[in-house]
Amino acid sequence: MVRVRYAPSPTGLQHIGGVRTALFNYLYARSTGGSFVLRIEDTDRERYSEDALQDIYASFNWLGVSWDEGPDCGGPYGPYLQSHRLERYRAAADTLLSRGWAYECFCSPERLEALRSEGSRDGVVGYDRHCRELTDEQRFSYRAKGITPVVRLKIPDQGTASFEDLLLGTVKRKHKDLPPDPVMLKSDGFPTYHLANVVDDHEMQITHVLRAQEWLSSTPLHILLYEALGHEPPKFCHLPFVTGKDGQKLSKRHGATSVIEFRKQGYLPEALINYIALLGWSYDDSREFFTLDELEELFTVEKLNKAPAVFDYKKLEWFNGNYIRACSDARLFEVLSPYIEQAGLLPAGEQSPQAEVVRNAIPLVKERLKLLSDAPSLLRFLLADIGDDYTAEDLVPKKMDTGATKALLEAVRPLVAQLDGYDDESLENEFRKVAEEYDTKLGNVMMPLRVAVTGSRASPPLIGSLRLLGADRALGRIDAALAKL
Ligand code: GLU
Ligand code: ZN
């Protein structure tokens, strides 16, 4: 029975790398009929943030990724917040102490700080094992002075930690190359990441740990800890790095990285899921489109890639456009409305006359949307007064003057008045005839008309826009444009 987990530390917003880890664990559980656990690793109280915790719930809720066990829904291995499990880490530290795998260290922060600065000067890293061989009397006297110790793991000088990574094969590291005697339990009773992570993966009966390659360097230490505690380690699979196009680890420098930013920018959750699933996994050489349901069936660890996954913002945008076009008009109305409301173009609520206008316009703009947030600017001309959106110069096509532009607008005016008497094709033919008559390109006829009725050179298809606006309003706008000229 597969049991996997996502174990985020609530210190920042959920980013692409974390979501990829969560998604692959989720998919692995779903594809094998196993369980997916959310465990919150909140033992670093200095970096803990309540907003970050709420962001975990909000992000995955929006993405449609859910867990079978977690702090919000409970489960048989809870609690799922590490800060509520402190007595278990204390007990594990005691086990390590009683087995001779750990020792108490009473060194003052000042001493450790001095070690660090000397070390960085001499190129020596880490703790000098000062307290490794303290006698009972020495420990007693430290305690009598009121000093509470930390618990450090005894890293053996001999031997090698080794494990089979599902993706990377055999990974080995000599014990003597591990950081000397890392802290397991701090003096305030909180565990460090390593101890809490290993204790919980064992107690929660996690069978497979799929995590980012950033954690690969910690795994030999974890293997040693499992041995010290007398537990069988789970299987490990370290997922490839996610980089920008420059090969550097994906970061803010490259663009949006957090779920909430992508959401604000107007990405659909299904587009993000589809794209993230392809960061280090592929089904075959050709298939690109996958719904979450399909991924839940098709995902296998065998099809993970070792090579770093390059995050391509353009490709994600392309996916998004595709998913927008695949939306029903009703769903699109629902997901677009918040953006249009935010732009002040639509009153909240579904019943306003403006809502009706937006509903009718959806088939027209669907093809043009790459991001949901593109909607306000495309729909503005239907919902607001555009008189101040453009200047007289904006109306005049290149290499033409005001007079010629005026003449063209006057020539198309009667056609617009008769809008309902033409189908799209014959209306375009009439525009073409005007172009011929004035010895110019069709584009030069359409452009001033487009600016006049939509206020912008980039609008949804012109004839469709005219129809949505209606002949009367369109004529009023043409007249306003003529007046400007
Ligand atoms: N709390 C760690 C993190 O923030 C967990 C790493 C792991 O999956 O072991 O990513
Ligand atoms: Zn010490």
Q: Which of 102, 422, 378, 404 is nearest to 266 (CA)?
A: 378
H/E element, 170: strand 169-174
Mean pLDDT for the stretch of residues 178-196: 96
What CATH number is given for 85-239 in this structure?
A: 3.40.50.620
Burial state string for 183-196 with b = 16 or more CB within 10 A and e = fewer than 16:
bbbbeeebbbbbbb
Burial class (CB in 10 A: 0-12, 13-18, 19+), 48: middle
| pLDDT value of residue 359 | 95
Question: What is the pLDDT confidence band of residue 245, given thresholds at 50, 70 and 90?
Answer: very high
State in Å: Cα 132 to ligand 2 middle.
7
Which DSSP symbol is given to 191?
B
| pLDDT value of residue 40 | 98
CB distance 39 to 200 below 8 Å: yes
Q: Which atom of ligand 1 is nearest to the CA of 11?
A: 4
* Closest listed ligand to the CA of 10: 1
| pLDDT value of residue 348 | 86
In the chain, domain spans: 1-70+240-326, 85-239, 328-380, 392-484
| pLDDT value of residue 122 | 76
With a cut of 80, say whether residue 464 has pLDDT above it: yes
484 is catalytic: no
In single-letter form, the type of residue at position 25 comes to N
> What would the pLDDT profile of 341-386 be if each residue is shown by its tens digit?
999 999 987 788 999 999 999 999 999 999 999 999 999 999 999 9
State in Å: Cα 245 to ligand 1 middle.
25
State the CATH class of domain 392-484. Answer: mainly alpha
Site to substitute for ligand 1 among 24, 197, 238, most atoms within 8 A of C-beta: 197
> What would the pLDDT profile of 133-143 be if each residue is shown by its tens digit?
999 999 999 99
- Secondary structure of 16-74 in HEC code, one letter for each residue: HHHHHHHHHHHHHHHHHCCEEEECECCCCCCCCCHHHHHHHHHHHHHHCCCCCEECCCE
| pLDDT value of residue 351 | 84
Mean pLDDT for the stretch of residues 294-320: 96
Other C-beta atoms closer than 10 Å to the C-beta of 481 total 24
| pLDDT value of residue 169 | 97
Distance CA 40, CA 44 (A): 11
H/E element, 450: helix 442-454
Do the first three CATH levels of 1-70+240-326 and 85-239 match, i.e. the same topology? yes
State in Å: Cα 38 to ligand 1 middle.
11
With a cut of 80, say whether residue 125 has pLDDT above it: no
Task: Return the percentage of the chain with pLDDT > 90, whole number.
Answer: 94
Mean pLDDT for the stretch of residues 388-400: 94
pTM of the full predicted structure?
0.92
State in Å: Cα 59 to ligand 2 middle.
42
Nearest CA to ligand 1 atom 10: 8
Instruction: Compute the mean pLDDT over every residue in the chain, rounded to the nearest whole number.
Output: 95
Collapse the DSSP code of 152 into the 3-class scheme (helix H, G, I; strand E, B; otherwise coil) and give the result: strand
Per the structure block, which two tokens stand in for 214? Answer: 């950033």
Residues touching ligand 1 (Cβ under 6 Å) are 7-9, 41, 197, 211, 215
Pick the CATH number of 1-70+240-326 from 3.40.50.620, 3.30.70.1150, 3.30.420.40, 3.40.50.12370: 3.40.50.620
Residue whose tokens read 């994906």: 250
| pLDDT value of residue 410 | 97
| pLDDT value of residue 303 | 96
Farthest CA pair distance, the chain: 107
Question: How does DSSP assign 76-92, residue by residue?
Answer: TT---BGGG-HHHHHHH
Per the structure block, which two tokens stand in for 48? Answer: 């803990």
Quick check: bond before 79 cis, omega within 30? yes
Would you give the end-to-end CA distance of the chain in angstroms? 75
Distance CA 62, CA 335 (A): 12
CATH 1.10.8 correct for 328-380: yes
Question: What is the pLDDT confidence band of residue 274, given thresholds at 50, 70 and 90?
Answer: very high
**What separation in angstroms does the CA of 265 have from each of 312, 317, 373?**
16, 10, 6
Question: What is the pLDDT confidence band of residue 67, given thresholds at 50, 70 and 90?
Answer: very high
Catalytic residue among 172, 176, 245, 252: 252
With a cut of 90, say whether residue 123 has pLDDT above it: no
Q: Which atom of ligand 1 is nearest to the CA of 6?
A: 8
